[in-house]
Amino acid sequence: MGMIESKDRATSDPGARKDVMKQMEKEGVQYVLFWFTDIEGHLKSFAITPSEIEGALNDGMGFDGSSITGFNAIEESDMVAIPDPTTYRLMPTREGEAKVGRMICDVVKPDGTPYEGDPRYALRRALERMESMGFDTFNIGPELEYFLFESNKGTVTLDEGGYFAMTALDAATELRNETIQALEAMGIGIEYHHHEVAPSQHEIDMRYSNALDMADQTITYRLIVKEVAAKNGVYATFMPKPLFGENGSGMHTHMSLFKDGRNMFFDGSDQYNLSVTGKAFIAGLLRHARELAPIFAQWVNSYKRLVPGYEAPVYVAWSQRNRSALIRIPLYKPGSEQATRAEIRCPDPACNPYLTFAALLHAGLEGIEKGYELEPPMDSNLYHLTSEERKERGIVSLPETLGEAVDELAASELMRRALGDHIWDAYVRLKRKEWDEYRIQLTQWELDRYLGVL
């Protein structure tokens, strides 16, 4: 820390920097957390004292990037974290605890230029592409699901509740309320929350926002959910499929593109109320879905969720009603033009939200730029079709394993452009390694199945 020369590297508005310093002084914060993520989306945090804050806002704080997953190895490992003053928030605290602020950082090189390995930069670049195509806002509404367990040592559930279960069964209602209060205290708008289908499974939905804010909010959300659970003596997990035979946890992601306050996905004269732009965006997501998979579903375990029968999508198709399709267009209600959107149902809440939103945006923009045609919707339940029927209708499936997904990513020119060479290369290597470690494991299932008969 601090081994990098002082020099003004900030690109933020000087007024915003002054305001945030005043606010911190008024609030009497004892220290400020600086946050960023590695390429897998793990939150990285370090704390600085108020006396260092002015210098840190202007020059950034140096750190050694060599121990951050997906960042540079030993050579060229000096990195600088520059806090974004607009992301300043006071962390929720209980009586008597220290006052702590937090800011999200962009990671730059010592010369002040953006670091290609920073996931937030990949999202910023995707948004630049969007702006160059005439849009100004990519709105995102993610629905993160998670489980509460007695501890992180096992999967003992806290209740037997089900979808929308009410208080008597829902041991965690109080906990959910406390979580929502903590999220709202950090400026995160909450729209909706309920018990999910599986035992001990919950969902708290944030009010939509632009993609960069939403990625910042998503990493904050995950931390708050975990912290509030821990303070109450239980464990919250975003692992995509922790319980065999039960629904996994998804992160359905609602998306729309805006320009000058108008929703560019809406066209009232179309039978689906979708504009040419909206349709081409969806066509882009569908055509590139297999290449995107290792970004929105990045773990070996993610592919245990993406199987038939648990309300998670498997087939690459879109629909207005059918929840087995990959993309759903929520039904249009008159007067709700602004809410016309595409809901992609395959991401899981353990993804890196910066890379996921960037990859989704690039795939959609590719559809718009190249004028992809959208196939008609698939309104029958795709799970009930035989594999021959699916083949006849040209329905493609998502990759079945992380290994298959990584092969798609490694061959994807679009994803290489979307992530940039550095992240693309590091990500492919990292995920191949994860897959290789997994595929050589011997499982209890194999011993039970084969040992006695072979």
In terms of DSSP bridges, do strands 201-206 and 100-108 run parallel, antiparallel, or are they unpaired? unpaired
Residue 200 within binding range of ligand GLU, rule CB under 6 A: no
User: Residue 311, interface with ligand GLU (CB under 6 A)?
Assistant: yes
When CB distances are held under 5 to 8 angstroms depending on the partner's kind, the choice from ligand GLU, Mg ion, none that residue 247 binds is: ligand GLU
For the bound state, the minimum distance from the C-beta of residue 108 to ligand GLU, rounded and expressed in Å, comes to 36
Residues that bind Mg ion (CB under 5 A): 203
Contacts of 63 (CB under 8 A, 6+ apart): 1, 46, 79, 80, 81
Strand partners, 205: 143, 192
**Token representation of residue 426:** 């590091």
Please tell me which residue in 170, 203, 407, 434 is annotated as part of the active site.
203
- How many residues bind ligand GLU, per CB under 6 A? 13
Which of 222, 254, 328, 345 is flagged as catalytic? 345
Cβ of 6: how many Cβ atoms within 10 Å?
Answer: 11
The answer to whether 89 touches 20, Cβ cutoff 8 Å, is no
**Active-site residue, 343 included:** yes
Q: Which stretch binds ligand GLU (CB under 6 A): 77-85, 310-318, 427-435, 438-446?
A: 310-318
Q: Is 323 marked active-site?
A: yes
Based on the residue annotation, tell me whether 437 is a catalytic residue of this protein.
Answer: no
Active-site residue flag, 145: yes
Pair of tokens at residue 201: 């499974």
**Complex with ligand GLU: residue 109 or 252, whichever CB lies closer:** 252
Name which of 201, 208, 157, 214 is nearest 352 in CA terms: 214
Please tell me which residue in 59, 106, 118, 145 is annotated as part of the active site.
145
Per the annotation, the verdict on 345 as an active-site residue is: yes
Active site residue 252: yes
Measured from the CB of residue 203, what is the shortest distance to Mg ion in angstroms? Answer: 5
In sequence order, which residues have a C-beta less than 8 Å from that of residue 275 and are 6 or more positions away? 264, 265, 266, 267
Q: Could you give the 3-state DSSP secondary structure of residue 32?
A: strand
Q: Which residue in 116, 196, 213, 408 is the catalytic one?
A: 196
Concerning whether 143 is annotated as a catalytic residue, the answer is: yes
Report the alpha-carbon angle 47-50-55, nearest 5.
90
Chain residue whose CB lies nearest ligand GLU: 250
Q: Shortest approach of ligand GLU to residue 305 CB, angstroms?
A: 5
Parallel, antiparallel or unpaired: strands 342-344 and 251-259: antiparallel
How far, in Å, CA of 179 to CA of 173, rounded? 10
In contact, 86 and 16? CB cutoff 8 Å: yes
Closest CB to ligand GLU among 44 and 328? Answer: 328
| Chain residues 75-134 in contact with ligand GLU, contact rule CB under 6 A | none
Distance CA 54, CA 386 (A): 63
User: How many whole angstroms separate alpha carbon 53 and alpha carbon 25?
Assistant: 11
CB of 348 to Mg ion, least distance (A): 12
141 binds ligand GLU (CB under 6 A): no
Cβ atoms within 10 Å of 205's Cβ, excluding its own: 18
Residue 323 vs 391, nearer CB to ligand GLU: 323
As separate numbers, helices (DSSP H) first and strands (DSSP E) second, the chain gives: 13, 17
With CB under 5 to 8 Å by kind, the binding choice for 305 among Mg ion, ligand GLU, none is: ligand GLU
Residue carrying the six token digits 């490992």: 77
Interacting residues with ligand GLU between 236 and 295 (CB under 6 A): 247-250
What is the 8-class DSSP label of residue 266? B
**DSSP-derived 3-state class of residue 385:** coil
Q: How far is the CB of 107 from ligand GLU (least distance, A)?
A: 31
Which of 176, 195, 279, 305 lies at the binding interface for ligand GLU (CB under 6 A)? 305
Within residues 348-407, the interface with ligand GLU by CB under 6 A covers none
Q: How far is the CB of 251 from ligand GLU (least distance, A)?
A: 8
Query: Closest distance between ligand GLU and the C-beta of residue 196, in Å?
Result: 6
- Which chain residues interact with ligand GLU by CB under 6 A? 145, 196-197, 247-250, 305, 310-312, 323, 345
Please give the positions annotated as active site.
64, 143, 145, 196, 203, 252, 323, 343, 345
